Amino acid sequence: MTPPSTSSTATAGKTGAAAASPTEVDADEIVAQPDAFGVPAARQTGLPAVAATSPEGAADGGRTSLARLVDPVRRGWRVLTSMRTALILLFLLAVAAIPGSLLPQNNINPILVQRYRANHPTLGPIFERLSLFHVFSAPWFAAIYVLLFISLIGCLWSRVRWHAQALLGRPPAAPARPGRLAGGSAFASPLAPGEATAAAAAMLRSRRFRVAIAADGATRPDGSPDHSVAAEKGYLRETGNLVFHIALMVLLLGVGLGSWYGYQGSMLVVQGDGFSNTLLSYDQFTAGAMVDTANLRPYSVTLDKFSASYQLSGEPKEFAAAVSYRTGLDSPVKKTVIKPNHPLVIGKDKVYLLGHGYAPHFVLRDKAGKVVWESYVTCAQEDPNFRSLCVVKIPDAGLAPVGKLQTPQQLAFMGFFTPTTIDDPAQGLVSIYPAAANPAITLTGYVGNLHVNEGIPQNIYSLDTRDMKQFTSDGPTGNGVISQALWIGHADERTMTNLPGGMSLSVDGVREYAQFQVKSDPTKDLVLVAAIAIILGLIISLRVRRRRVWVRARAAGAGSTVEIGGLSRSDAEGFAAELASLTTQLRAATTVTQDTAAQDSARPNPASPDAARPDGAPSTTDENAPSSNRREP
């Protein structure tokens, strides 16, 4: 802890003296001043606060019932707005954000969330109840966020007031013996005390110190003249600290406002299809409380082609989505390529490319060969080689309902798509490479009630089989079997027949799809500026050093005794070198000033007539005398 500033006071037993002798002045001690680098004036007292209580109120301290009720609130507010609490809340906020980085989030990739829950049947429901799949919108995360914001406002308000008072106020008065401070020194100067302090003030100002000189006629407690200079430097350190914390508060405010006025949504788009910025186009959509979802910015995007390249090891090399888009209803069509970390920017909205996958093309025909239903169905990636889960739901297959309740008969198929397929004797069809070099799909059929017409949303990658039963089919794998392996690249091996009602299902092609995310964050510029200010404020607060320097001069014979000392809140070694440099410069300033004055007083005045005669005799001027400076006629 840096020692506080000091001032002079007479030793015990001498306070009653009318005037102090020089011996008493020399016996002055250095005592602590309450000003300790910016403590507010209200706290600058050297005595402990004593609460006066009346005898009548001795039992309860004279406090009213209202005061007793307010005290817990006041104490709670002080605890909440303390810097320690703010640091604890900031740490909790950072810890609370960890699950949002490690676990898949519903607002970013709901497919990964469903896959995680399927792979972790025990932890998945627990994490869901704890809101770990949507951390940043969880109530407990919002509570930490709001408390941190309130704590920062309370901390900064008092610190800004104190800093403003320190900037507008004078540096603390010089101690009685600044030369006794660490690194201080004293030396004799031929200048008078007032001239010495004036030279010291000029020197310190040249070093960019904020300087305050004792007023003319000021006296010390012992009645002697006060010739002192107080200087300080490094307030930019506290300014940088405040900029850091204010920018942090602005950043939190920007993030909070962004969650109110921003929105984001994701969708899967098969090559050749597109989407418009309307609520119905999104598979997953979240919006802030202040967003009008009926008046989103009108634009549309079409996926013209998706291309992906891979290393020989199967590692992804490059993904790119070539798109066409319109920025308005009557805007011309523009083309661009969206890549990871290179989104399409439309106004305040950004369209990101998050992922991709495969979408086989299924065709259902009746026994007469007429197409009943067809669609590209997106499959969810299961492993790095794009073994993907496919769930096909056909609610209107044309089958008649059965039973007294007229239960609908609907078809469903579940299986796995493999882009580069080999037939492994132990595992069956597996994929050995992400690209679709030899695509195949294994399907199992179900018939019954899908419950898709009951108004309850369903996951497209899950199948409710409680009112459905498997059926056998004929195909490339064999006749009357439960599961069929269809090879999409072979026309005679991609159809399964003998389905309910005599229908058949073919998989005659495959396209790639892209997963896009649209994100609108109107406060991102504010967050960016705040982040830059945080870095700048942190650099300033770490690089700038706070220090104070005092100079005091006392009359000593024909000249004065000059003392210099100082204190620093940090970097004691660096300040020791700076104080030594200031001392050397101060010695030179007081000495050079005196020498210069002596030289000026001894130097002859060229304008004086006596200066022309070395012997000092008065000169006579004769206008008729010849002169070297006078031109002869």
Answer for the pair 174, 551: CB distance below 8 angstroms, yes or no. yes
Tens of pLDDT, residue by residue over 276-299, are 999 999 988 888 888 998 889 999
Q: How many domains does the structure of the chain reveal? A: 4
More confident residue, 49 or 290: 290
Tens of pLDDT, residue by residue over 498-541, are 999 999 999 999 999 999 999 998 898 999 999 999 999 999 88
The answer, yes or no, to whether residue 625 has pLDDT greater than 60, is: no
Least confident window among 157-161, 304-308, 323-327, 540-544? 157-161
Helices 83-96 and 139-168, packing angle to 10 deg: 140
Do 376 and 499 sit in the same domain of this protein? yes
CA distance 177 to 379: 83
The answer, yes or no, to whether residue 44 has pLDDT greater than 50, is: no
Q: Which of 319, 330, 320, 323 is nearest to 345 (CA)?
A: 323
Do 504 and 470 sit in the same domain of this protein? yes
What pLDDT was estimated at residue 302?
Answer: 96
What pLDDT was estimated at residue 77?
Answer: 86
Do 466 and 400 sit in the same domain of this protein? yes
Least confident window among 40-49, 401-410, 592-601? 40-49
Do 343 and 370 sit in the same domain of this protein? no
Does residue 14 lie within any of the structural domains? no
Q: Once rounded to an integer, what is the mean pLDDT over residues 14-43?
A: 39
Do 209 and 105 sit in the same domain of this protein? no
Question: Amino acid identity of 306?
Answer: F
Among 38-47, 123-132, 609-618, which range has the highest average pLDDT?
123-132
What pLDDT was estimated at residue 171?
Answer: 86
Do 344 and 381 sit in the same domain of this protein? no
Q: Which range marks the domain in which residue 560 is found?
A: 170-234+545-591
The answer, yes or no, to whether residue 599 has pLDDT greater than 60, is: no
Answer for the pair 251, 530: CB distance below 8 angstroms, yes or no. yes
What pLDDT was estimated at residue 377?
Answer: 96
Residue where a domain stops, chosen among 486, 508, 530? 508
What pLDDT was estimated at residue 592?
Answer: 57
More confident residue, 37 or 430: 430
What pLDDT was estimated at residue 172?
Answer: 86
The answer, yes or no, to whether residue 224 has pLDDT greater than 60, is: yes
Q: SS3 for 509?
A: strand
Residue 412: both structure tokens together: 């469903």
Answer for the pair 366, 398: CB distance below 8 angstroms, yes or no. yes
Count of CB atoms situated within 10 Å of the CB of 207: 14
- Average pLDDT of the chain? 82
Tens of pLDDT, residue by residue over 550-574, are 999 999 988 999 999 999 877 778 8
Confidence band, pLDDT 50/70/90 cuts, at residue 311: very high
Does residue 613 lie within any of the structural domains? no
Does residue 83 lie within any of the structural domains? yes
- Does the predicted TM-score (pTM) go above 0.85? no
What pLDDT was estimated at residue 376?
Answer: 96
Does residue 537 lie within any of the structural domains? no
Do 341 and 404 sit in the same domain of this protein? no
Confidence band, pLDDT 50/70/90 cuts, at residue 601: very low
Tens of pLDDT, residue by residue over 363-416, are 999 999 999 999 999 999 999 999 999 999 999 888 888 877 778 889 999 999
Tens of pLDDT, residue by residue over 145-172, are 889 888 888 888 888 888 887 777 788 8
Answer for the pair 338, 344: CB distance below 8 angstroms, yes or no. yes
Strands 428-431, 421-424: pairing is antiparallel
Do 302 and 182 sit in the same domain of this protein? no
CA distance 338 to 340: 7
Do 383 and 347 sit in the same domain of this protein? no
The answer, yes or no, to whether residue 1 has pLDDT greater than 50, is: no
Does residue 25 lie within any of the structural domains? no
Residues paired with 350 in a beta bridge: 345, 519
Residue where a domain stops, chosen among 133, 157, 181? 157
Q: Once rounded to an integer, what is the mean pLDDT over residues 342-346?
A: 94
Count of CB atoms situated within 10 Å of the CB of 441: 26
Q: What percent of the chain has pLDDT over 90?
A: 46
Residue where a domain stops, chosen among 508, 534, 569? 508
Q: Which of 299, 308, 298 is nearest to 356 (CA)?
A: 308
What pLDDT was estimated at residue 48?
Answer: 45
What pLDDT was estimated at residue 63?
Answer: 63
Does residue 241 lie within any of the structural domains? no
What pLDDT was estimated at residue 64?
Answer: 76
Among 105-109, 221-225, 331-335, 615-619, which range has the highest average pLDDT?
331-335
Contacts of 573 (CB under 8 A, 6+ apart): none
Does residue 331 lie within any of the structural domains? yes
Confidence band, pLDDT 50/70/90 cuts, at residue 88: very high
Do 569 and 469 sit in the same domain of this protein? no
Count of CB atoms situated within 10 Å of the CB of 271: 19
Do 404 and 352 sit in the same domain of this protein? no
Do 442 and 567 sit in the same domain of this protein? no
Tens of pLDDT, residue by residue over 200-211, are 999 999 998 989
What pLDDT was estimated at residue 148?
Answer: 87
Q: Once rounded to an integer, what is the mean pLDDT over residues 210-230?
A: 90
